[in-house]
Structure 1
Amino acid sequence: MSEPVNGMVGLWREEEGGEGRQREFITLRRGRRGHDVSETRSEYRVRPRDLSELAPGRMKTCSVLRSWLGRPARRSPRPLAPLSSSSLTSPAVEMLIDFEELLAVPYVSQPTVAHNPLHQFDLYVPKSPSTTTQAPPLICFVHGGAWRSEDKAQHAQLARRLAAHTRFPVAIPNYRLSTPATPLRHPAHAEDLLAFLHFVLTWSGPPSSPCPYDPTQLYLLGHSCSAHMLTSIFLQPPESISDPSPSPSPPSSPAASDPSSPPLPPSPIPTPAALSPSPALLASTRALVLSEGLYDFDTLLRAFPAYKSWFIAPTFGRLRSYTPWNTASYRPRPGGAHLRWLVLHSRGDTLVHPEQSALIWRHLKELYAEPQDGDERGTARMVCRDWDTLTEEHNDTLAGEVYPRLVADFVRDDVAWRASDK
């Protein structure tokens, strides 16, 4: 029998049956109502790439440990979800991965005031044994939410999946939001993101521990509005853009009903110097993965006119045109020719139409002078896409297993490709 790890002991059982092999992780302690119970604070399951890792009858001790900054890890019972029949007959195997979770790490220095939770990030570090002494790359996932909602904690499970599939650390930052209580215009949100990226580039790691990643290998993931934020940073607007005229406020808006309250001015017209990453950050960023993104607001509003009052006007101002912020027309940053891009779009997304992803994909293809036809799989092209594999709704894509596997495959392949090119 294997030794207990954080209060949990188990083994992998494999059986040959008429329908093939069944593989199941069996814990050796039972809780109330027949559930398998782990004493650790949280658990996660992932399917490994290579089934040969699990030989028949091989025992594996598994656990998850959450480490809090400045606080000891707490433990509470949580039932393990029962394995479904489909997972038992699947050719893949699930295993538990150890994590160290560093939560609420501030990325903006505020020595005289309490840290703003919107200027913090969470870091998920897989603890599985490494086959190399080199520090791994860092994956950064930036949440969406139409510039007005969501929090890093909502994507903790996704971070664990990404970290488990890649064995790389995953960071998820917060950033300030545009709300009625905190009216903010672009580029404030993207400025926070840029500050976070510059922080992780120079961070020495948690107290008494080395930095758990290689800051010269960054992989950035943007979903929905954060895909726009990333393209605003790693692409640049033209030198000269005309100032769009404002459109009248609707009768129900505060500006129309209260003339004494001056409206918030529109976002400043972007320039190439705005949101410019440092040369070190640009050189350290290896690739970007954009999913369900927004890249051309004028095209978006023709398909979804209600979005203007919902989140476009609160973020950029109420304007007749949003051409200055349509990143599907931006140019490459000098020194960014090494960046690779993966554009994802789900067939089940009804909140953002596929034309948005098509616009940025075609534009990036033109920037890199790559053909827009042919099968992209198995190639080392700089601009890739997948618009067929994902089938869930806009945010549901992040809750399933398919998105992290697509991202993990792309990131691992890019790491291997760059290593072979040295």
Structure 2
Amino acid sequence: MTGMWCSEDKSMFHAMAKFLSTSNPGCAVALVNYRLTTPETPDINFPDHILDVYSALTFLAQNKQNAPYDAVNMVLAGHSVGAWMLLAAMMQSDPASTKRALQIPVLDAHVRACFRTLILVDGIYDIAESLKEYPGYADYYTKAILQKGLEASVFMGLGCNAWIWAEQAMRTNVILLHSPEDELLSYAQPCILLQRLAHLGATEQHSVTIPAPVQMHNPQNQIACWYAGKRTGSDAALVAQIYGPQVHGVPGRVQVDLTSLSGTHDGALHTEVFWTVLQRIAAQDSIHEAL
């Protein structure tokens, strides 16, 4: 799942699905679409997209009798805004943080319990925070999320900093992947998510080191893209001061790889490197063995 709510189609990932199913005997792959917000469909907006995703997840979880897969032991993967929607599916609004904001729809508890691993790739994890770094993205969010009569303050409730884990997701493994060559999203978003998950706490914890500087270019970024190219040292220092270079207290069930992928924000999805990572995760019972 990908596309910023306004583009992409599951047909673009047939090659990836074929690779996964043929390289992993017995592995069934489902590609999920959701309705898009386009000039032709301006009335499709929040929460239509995520409800479509929930419908697909519910079908996969409840189709147990004749399913050619283990319907109570599934792996979910989402990219960009697709990662945001999958994270929302496994979390829920924190009442203390979202009193004046939109509430994310709640996925059925029995459906949540069917997913053992959540793979989040080059994701947007907190919309309000992303707008501080990329104000140029506001137009995408506004068209897809804001309904008539609502104000931009609703963005505050649509991200991990306003969410808590749903009870059924407390044991779900989380794998966080980010391409160092992503030109649209910096390491700030995974850092924001890791800090939030560390804040929510866990018995087993570990630390995550943020990779060394990478040259990237994004003219839409107004306040120092994480380690971005052609930025001053003070800008890089500002971001490093906010997010890193290490995030401590990350739950043990959360594994992070910020270096293995290659390619641009969309291009990374069409590389054999990414497909192989997915194949290994699907094949292994232990995520530590897969990464």
Q: Normalising by structure 1, what TM-score? A: 0.53
Letter in 2 for 1:179: T
The partner residue of 2:129 within 299, 308, 330 is: 299
Aligned to 1:278: 108
Aligned to 2:17: 159
CA drift of 1:343 comes to: 0.5
Identity percentage of aligned residues: 26
Instruction: State the Cα deviation string for residues 183-231 of structure 1 (Å, max 9, x = none).
Output: 22222111111111111122267xxxx4211111110001000111111
Query: Counterparts of 1:166-205 in structure 2 under 5 Å?
Result: 166-167=24-25, 168-183=27-42, 184-203=44-63
The partner residue of 2:260 within 385, 389, 399 is: 389
Matches of 1:412 and 1:359 in 2, distance apart?
29
Aligned to 1:348: 181
SS at match of 1:308: helix
SS at match of 1:150: coil
Matches of 1:414 and 1:276 in 2, distance apart?
28
Structure 2: 5+ residue runs without aligned partners? 211-250
Aligned to 1:217: 73
Aligned to 1:243: 100
**Structure number, greater radius of gyration:** 1
Letter in 1 for 2:116: R
RCO comparison, higher one (Cα < 8 Å, 6+): 2
Aligned to 1:308: 138
Matches of 2:168 and 2:133 in 1, distance apart?
35
8 Å CA contact 1:300–1:356 kept in 2: the answer is: yes
SS at match of 2:167: coil
Matches of 2:19 and 2:195 in 1, distance apart?
30
Query: Counterparts of 1:10-89 in structure 2 under 5 Å?
Result: none
More displaced stretch, 315-324 vs 343-352: 315-324
Letter in 2 for 1:361: L
SS at match of 1:306: helix
Structure 1: 5+ residue runs without aligned partners? 1-142, 245-268, 418-422
SS at match of 2:72: coil
Instruction: State the Cα deviation string for residues 67-104 of structure 1 (Å, max 9, x = none).
Output: xxxxxxxxxxxxxxxxxxxxxxxxxxxxxxxxxxxxxx
CA drift of 1:239 comes to: 1.4
8 Å CA contact 1:297–1:322 kept in 2: the answer is: yes
CA drift of 1:412 comes to: 2.4
8 Å CA contact 1:295–1:359 kept in 2: the answer is: yes
Letter in 2 for 1:287: T
SS at match of 1:289: strand
Instruction: State the Cα deviation string for residues 107-149 of structure 1 (Å, max 9, x = none).
Output: xxxxxxxxxxxxxxxxxxxxxxxxxxxxxxxxxxxx2111001
Matches of 2:209 and 2:81 in 1, distance apart?
29
CA drift of 1:305 comes to: 1.5
Letter in 2 for 1:224: S
SS at match of 1:193: helix
Aligned to 2:221: none
CA drift of 1:416 comes to: 8.7
Q: Go from structure 1 to structure 2 and tell me whether the alpha carbon gap of 1:204 and 1:144 turns closer, same or farther (over 3 Å shift).
A: same
CA drift of 1:290 comes to: 0.2
CA drift of 1:373 comes to: 4.3
Matches of 1:148 and 1:202 in 2, distance apart?
28
Q: Go from structure 1 to structure 2 and tell me whether the alpha carbon gap of 1:374 and 1:154 turns closer, same or farther (over 3 Å shift).
A: closer
Q: Go from structure 1 to structure 2 and tell me whether the alpha carbon gap of 1:391 and 1:278 turns closer, same or farther (over 3 Å shift).
A: same
8 Å CA contact 1:365–1:372 kept in 2: the answer is: no
Which of the pair is proportionally richer in strand?
Answer: 1
Matches of 1:322 and 1:416 in 2, distance apart?
33
Letter in 2 for 1:188: D
Count of aligned pairs: 239
Which of the pair is proportionally richer in helix?
Answer: 2
8 Å CA contact 1:194–1:275 kept in 2: the answer is: no
Aligned-pair Cα RMSD in Å: 2.3
